[in-house]
Amino acid sequence: MCGMQRKLNVISYLPAKRLCQNHESALFGKECNANNVQEGTKGDQLKNDETSNAVVVPECIDGTSLNSHDGNITDECASETSGDSRLTYSFYNVPCEELAQKLLGKVLVRSLENGIVLKGRIVETECYLGGNDKASHSFNGKVTPRNKPMFMKPGTTYVYFTYGMYFCFNISSLGDGAAVLVRAVDPLQGHDFMNTQRINQRMRSKKNLLQADSKKCNVPTIKPHELCNGPGKLCISLCIDEKSCNMQDLSSWGGMWIESDSEGEQICSGGWVTSTRIGIDSAGPEWALKPLRFYIFGNNSVSKRDRKREQERLMLLK
């Protein structure tokens, strides 16, 4: 562990460019050899996850197909192509903890068949290390048809249905069974569409779906920072489901990718908070208490803040 024996439940306060997959080294600003981190099995992320009443359905609620991105683009959702800002394979080909930290501040782009392009800045991630990580579905190297994407090349999407209600979106990293759960994004583009997706999901049981364009009907408004502040919510808002988005290569697929921008680097320059993962108490205290969740300090779209560690962070900066 990079020669340090301190407890792990601490806060990282480093800028985004100073990455280290060892929590102790990240906190105290020391270099860390990637080989010091255990490479587990790429796996099916959370066994239990918190989504704050988030529920999703197997298809994009407005009925659009999710696989291609041709068609007319609405004014509010118009976007340029991914261009040079699209992240390539080398970005994802790093150990799990490093990828989870590097993803903070990056822009997740979702392109739908009808031309709508949705964007959100990643503000919260969790690591699932595989191997002896009891919170991973790939614990002990277990491979199933469900978690197969986590044993594929880094940058492969793993979308799974859980609790019979919602999807979770993960990205494979270096190491068998290791993957990063994207827990929350801060919406940047397509707010109206996201809002309609969320409201339609709530009304689905009443069989009273609204039109996709919320400007043309009286749609209740969800606060922007609450549209994607949880793994289930973001999958609803961005039309991410297992049928259309699973086992896709983020470095080449036209339906979804991740971009970098200068604003994201600036946002992350203030550092992030390192905390424990959500909803994995069943894995036992050893793994439930490991600091494998990261979120941008001060961002309102984070699913669950750790105020104790935020206070510790502020004290360290004084």
Per residue in 103-142, pLDDT (tens digit) is 999 999 999 999 999 999 999 999 999 999 999 989 888 9
Q: What was the pLDDT predicted at 315?
A: 84
Handedness of CA 71, 224, 169, 81 (dihedral sign): positive
- What pLDDT does residue 207 have? 58
Q: Which residue has the higher pLDDT, 231 or 318?
A: 231
Tell me how far apart the alpha carbons of residues 229 and 288 are, in angstroms, rounded to a whole number: 21
Q: Distance of CA 98 to CAs 30, 35, 138, 156, Å?
A: 14, 12, 19, 16
pLDDT tens per residue, range 256-292: 999 999 999 888 887 899 999 999 999 999 999 999 9
d(CA 146, CA 144): 5
CATH topology of domain 37-261: 3-methyladenine DNA Glycosylase; Chain A (3.10.300)
Burial letters 17-33, b for 16+ CB under 10 A, else e: eebbbbbbbbbbeeebe
What integer is the mean pLDDT of 180-201?
96
Cα 237 to the center of its chain, rounded Å: 13
**pLDDT of 275:** 96
